[in-house]
Every structure is written in structure tokens, then in C-alpha cells.
Amino acid sequence: MAANTKKIASNKKAYHEYFVEDKYEAGIVLVGTEVKSIRQGKVNLKDSYVNIKDGEAYVYNMHISPYEKGNIYNVDPLRPRKLLLNKREIRKLIGLITLKGYSLIPLSLYLKNGLVKMEMAVAKGKKNYDKRQDMAKKDAERRMQRRDDY
């Protein structure tokens, strides 16, 4: 990421559950109290996903905690939020996710020049044996690193 970005939240589970193919950056339509809550880091991307409905992209299950000082201006923490993408990008994403096994998942949320942006990926779900292979590979790398340190 560039020097003028500040990472707020990341979906660590995404790399464990999916093979990441392509990455995209999108803006998000938010309410003022949601932006304040995001700036405090009170956002969770764990079970969120992106879906395209009526030619527009939406992120579902992204939990943004209500802002403490927001009183009547707070909105539902799990409401669907519209993503800001070009028509060309949306058409390309529709073509990619219609393929068998592909889905859109949020990878991270960050501030870029004062604006909240989301990095999302076109990803394919991993099977259990793929996850075991990845864990074994990481474990072997850790052991090799420890050996090199001594």
C-alpha cells in the first residue's frame, strides 16, 4: 500500500479459506457515524462477502459497531453497503463470479487520502486438503527459519 494509506481492518481468514485470484479496490457508501466508527477501528470483515445485485455491488455482513456519540444517527451495524465501482469493473466481476466456485470476498479496509476504501478479491474456495497443505508448508518454513536463526 502507498504511504498515504492507513490500514484499519483485514480479513485474515480469507487467505486461509480461499485462493485469491484478482484484487480490486472499491469505495464504500457510508453514513457519517459509520466513518467515525471505522476510524476508531471498530469494524469486522470476518464473515463478510460481496454480491452483485441489479448491476450494483454490495458488501454483506460487514459489521461496523455503532458510534458511541452517534445517538439517533447510528444505523444497523450489519446493513448491506453499496460499493463504488465502474460499470466496466462490475461487468468484469459478473463474468468472473459466474464461473463455478468463484466468489467476491473483502480482504481489507483502509483509509486512502481520507476516504474509506475496500480491497476485495475474486477468490476460489479451498478444500480441506488444500488448507492442510498450506498449514504444513507454513510449519516447514517456520522450522527452517528457526534453524537459520541458531
Instruction: Show the beta-strand stretches assigned E in 77-114.
Output: 81-84, 102-112
Least confident of 34-43, 84-93, 122-131: 122-131
> pLDDT per residue over 5-38, tens digit each?
888 988 888 887 888 888 999 999 988 888 888 8
Residue whose C-alpha cell reads 459478473 in the numeric block: 94
* Dist. CA 62–CA 100, nearest whole Å: 24
Q: Which domains does the chain have, with CATH numbers?
A: 5-149 (2.40.280.10)
Does this model's pTM top 0.85? My answer is no
DSSP H helical ranges for 3-127: 12-17, 32-39, 87-97
